[in-house]
Structure 1
Amino acid sequence: MQEIKPLIAYINHFVVMSPEEEFILSQHVTVRNYLKKQYVLQQGDICTHESFVIKGCLNTFFVNSEGDNFVGSFAVENWWVVDLESFINQTPADFNIQCLENCTLAQISRQNSQLLYEKIPKLERVFRMMLQQAFCFSQKRIVNNLSKAAKDRYLDFKNQFPEIERRVPQYLIASYLGITREFLSKIKAQTIFD
């Protein structure tokens, strides 16, 4: 149970679990280590787990038919990473999930998530609240991508996620922002003098 303490602490921000509930949770979570560059999920496979990041940094991206990569999101400690549609509907994943660093993940299978909802009903509230926050963030990102200049999107990213900016290669940040690596370099150079 020691190795999932960060997950328990995360859940306890939303609801308070009893020691018995914490034990039940620990029986339905698998902790797995991944190496840098290793895939947690590959596009086209079925997403069988939702993963809580105990340690490390990951990248969620898809590759189009021309072979171009598009970053959808990043995940660091105390964040979740999953191809949600694939996980819920058990359909082929649209996204790849790849480790940018060596990672330790607490993973809950689809079957175990359903069992946990039955055994610890308050977990449904936790995951509902997480999904609401994720949906709000996704909507805000769409609005920002459609209405803000690239420089403003970069400054927002830098202010909101300073740790990610330090840990993630610049070409991935450029992809996340929907700009080229060269344009991101120009923006960064401009912001030094602003």
Structure 2
Amino acid sequence: MDESLIVKNIARHISLNDKETSYFLSLLKEKKLQKRELILKQQQLCKEISFVQSGVLRAFYLDPAGKESTVMFALPDWWITDMYCFINQKPAMLTIEALEESSVLQLTKDNLDELYTQVPKFEKFFRIMMQNAYIREQLRTIESLSLSAEERYYTFLQKYPLAAERITQKQIASYLGITPEFLSAIKTNKQKNNES
């Protein structure tokens, strides 16, 4: 498995020596995913956090009526899990699926706890990662309260320009909290404005 991407990801926040790097990498398990394959299903015990090496993953909530609400997308160099359920070892509230052929490196909760003991600086790394995730979610909540659907779509395109080409309109609409038809109308309107 190619570990260079995850090593660079870690190095953004903490410095590891060769022994610490080797130990960390020894705890990871590589998983190859086919398109639409699930790495976590709602109500299943959430045992791993995953680092995306290639491909695109999506975390979504499925309500009792069968409506999907996308919570997040994960591209290469991103981490993804159902964080509340992973940390507390509870049944998942989210489902996580591969939107295309993908590869992830997974770390179990037991191995993460062992990592904190053996290489304490990883507590700093995951604290920073969780702070950043919390900030992202807070900003997203504020955007959903203060921006129009059209503004939220343009913000999405600015934040995830590469993702927009790899994700279906239905999935983007479910992330934005609008219908695919409304998203289509926004895109048509944008096209007309660009042409005039």
- Shorter-chain TM-score bucket reads over 0.9
Q: Deviations over 1:24-44 (max 9, x none)?
A: 011111111111100000000
CA distance in 1, matches of 2:2, 2:119: 20
List structure 1 runs of 4+ shifted beyond 3 angstroms.
none
Q: CA deviation at 1:193?
A: 3.0
Q: Deviations over 1:50-104 (max 9, x none)?
A: 0000011011001101111111110010001100111111111100000001111
Counterparts of 1:7-156 in structure 2 under 5 Å? Answer: 7-156=6-155
CA distance in 1, matches of 2:118, 2:100: 34
CA distance in 2, matches of 1:67, 1:159: 30
CA distance in 2, matches of 1:81, 1:72: 11
TM-score normalised per structure 2: 0.96
Are 1:100 and 1:168, in contact at CA under 8 Å, matched by a contact in 2? Answer: yes
* Percent of aligned positions that are identical: 33
Are 1:3 and 1:31, in contact at CA under 8 Å, matched by a contact in 2? Answer: no
User: Which SS does the other structure have where 2:2 is aligned?
Assistant: helix
CA distance in 2, matches of 1:185, 1:146: 21
Q: CA deviation at 1:122?
A: 0.9
Identify the residue that residue 170 of structure 2 maps to in structure 1.
Answer: 171
Are 1:58 and 1:98, in contact at CA under 8 Å, matched by a contact in 2? Answer: yes
CA distance in 2, matches of 1:74, 1:26: 24
Aligned partner letter, 1:34 = L
CA distance in 2, matches of 1:4, 1:40: 20
User: What's the RMSD between the two structures over aligned residues?
Assistant: 0.8
Q: Deviations over 1:151-185 (max 9, x none)?
A: 00000001111011011011000000000001001
What is the aligned length?
193
